[in-house]
Structure 1
């Protein structure tokens, strides 16, 4: 039976993907903050948005992402810069919310965009881990002697499946903290922590360019 991918190679890919999925990065940091701000439903909407962006990346991979990166490196650099600025904007809004807490205890301390789905998509489409994955990690696992589409489909299932589990765990963990958001001191401290973390993620994106 001629399988779409080599089983041993696929098993290795699963191991690499598992490590990448659980490693804290912009997507998982966003998941926590999003869960705290918007609760369980918002956390899951953010997960959907981030994995929609992952599907876009897989579509780009099917069209020859590696060749596009070589031909138009500045486009991907601009995407990363835009993503870094967006993550920084989320962090700044979190800090602004934290310092408004003293004057207005009922004001949300983590101010994001209007849509968890859109926020999630924007964070993931410019996530340096995603760009690194599709330009450096995935290509070695593709067998040029086998049809590309079935391989990419199986890799997409594994990638999105693990990302959904990891992002959901981070997001629901953040939602669990939402109960304590009624405490002004905790709310302010968490907003400051989240803001600093998101700004650090933005710096990480820029330093990897």
Structure 2
């Protein structure tokens, strides 16, 4: 892998990571609910899921899913159901800003492990990630040279880019929380969050292996 190829990869994943998706929306909403510092546990869960998906793609799981549509469908339905569940949960969450910021709400009392676990589930709920990684990574690897070191470089680059953008969305959520002190505004934010998560679930549900 040449330096030019690596830079092309950097630019590509920078914009891929910046694109709003379930992980970014989760980081933003968690930061609003529990604050930026505690939301980093949820971000760590998202990153762990990404790491696992990328490693699995390297060992050929993406090809297995592509070759076994029924298995892909099971994972796809489960992922879509979880995102829809998050949407329903957001829709029904408290509209009182003090519940989410002063410790009165269940979200603000969530443990670091709970935040991490939920972030991981959001991150791993998209089976298309495995197929994407399996098709995307080989485009930047020179198979005439040792593959493992190249994959390591690409993996670290991708994780760094995603962590950067998760932090940006998290900081944005923390800043946004200042404007959510009014009940109508917070209600609108909760409803928008719910709609976005359900929409992501529908997109995954309609995906094809």
**Cα displacement (A) at 1:66:** 4.0
The count of aligned residue pairs is 201
Matched, 1:89 2:85: yes
Contiguous gaps of at least 5 residues in structure 1: none
> Match for residue 142 of structure 2?
143
CA distance, structure 2, for counterparts of residue 27 and residue 108 of structure 1: 20
Quickly say closer, same or farther: Cα 1:174–1:57, change in 2 above 3 A: same
State the shift of 1:107 in Å: 4.3
The 8 Å contact of residues 27 and 39 in structure 2, kept in 1 or not, is answered as: yes
| Residue 23 (1) aligns with residue 19 (2) | yes
Query: Is contact 2:57–2:130 with CA below 8 Å preserved after alignment?
Result: no
Runs of 4+ deviating beyond 4 Å = 104-114
1:6-45, aligned counterparts within 5 Å? Answer: 6-45=2-41
Hey, what does 1:127 align to over in structure 2? 126
Aligned-pair Cα RMSD in Å:
2.4
Contact 1:43/1:116 (8 A) holds in 2: yes
Distance 1:25 1:129 in 2: 13
Quickly say closer, same or farther: Cα 1:50–1:31, change in 2 above 3 A.
same
Distance 1:32 1:128 in 2: 22
Partner of 1:144: helix, strand, or coil?
A: coil
Deviation at 1:154, TM superposition (A): 0.4
Shift of 1:43: 2.2
Q: CA deviation at 1:180?
A: 3.3
User: Is 1:50 aligned to 2:53, yes or no?
Assistant: no
Residue 187 of structure 1: how far off its partner (Å): 1.4
Unaligned runs of 5+ in 2: none
CA distance in 2, matches of 1:152, 1:27: 23
How far apart, CA to CA, are the structure 2 residues paired with 1:33 and 1:63?
33
Residue 105 of structure 1 deviates from its aligned partner by 7.0
